[in-house]
Amino acid sequence: MSTLIDITPLTFRSATNDGIIEFSNGLKISGKVLEKNIQIPCRVRLFEKLSGRLIEDKVTDHHGNYEFNQLTASKFFIVAHHPMSQFNAVIQDNVVPK
């Protein structure tokens, strides 16, 4: 099966999230969304894997870059939604912030 949209977590660090859930030890997940190796802006959601709880919902920049801050050292999954709804959402599972 060929992936048309790719969610690539790149690096991980700290800052503050938008208040959906407040975390204390400041780890991060950042990455880029690509469609056929071309950067695309889209909606990206971060969920806590264990509970399935939505942590943050945001739009990437125009290069497809995203960053989620102020996370704990647990597992998450990321869902990227195609901007034109031409494809199903893509999930990156078992993402761990650093």
CATH number at residue 55: 2.60.40.10
Q: What tokens appear for 51 in the block?
A: 């509970």
| Domain hosting residue 28, numbered range | 5-95
Number of independent structural domains in the chain: 1
pLDDT of res. 55: 95
pLDDT of res. 3: 41
pLDDT of res. 93: 94
Q: What is the pLDDT along the chain (98 residues), one digit of tens a residue?
A: 334 456 666 544 434 444 444 444 589 999 999 988 999 999 999 999 999 999 999 999 999 999 999 999 999 999 999 888 777 788 999 999 98
Give me the sign of the Cα torsion angle 40, 46, 50, 53.
negative
Beta bridge partners of 7: 33
CA 18 to CA 77: how far, in whole Å? 18
pLDDT of res. 86: 75
pLDDT of res. 21: 42
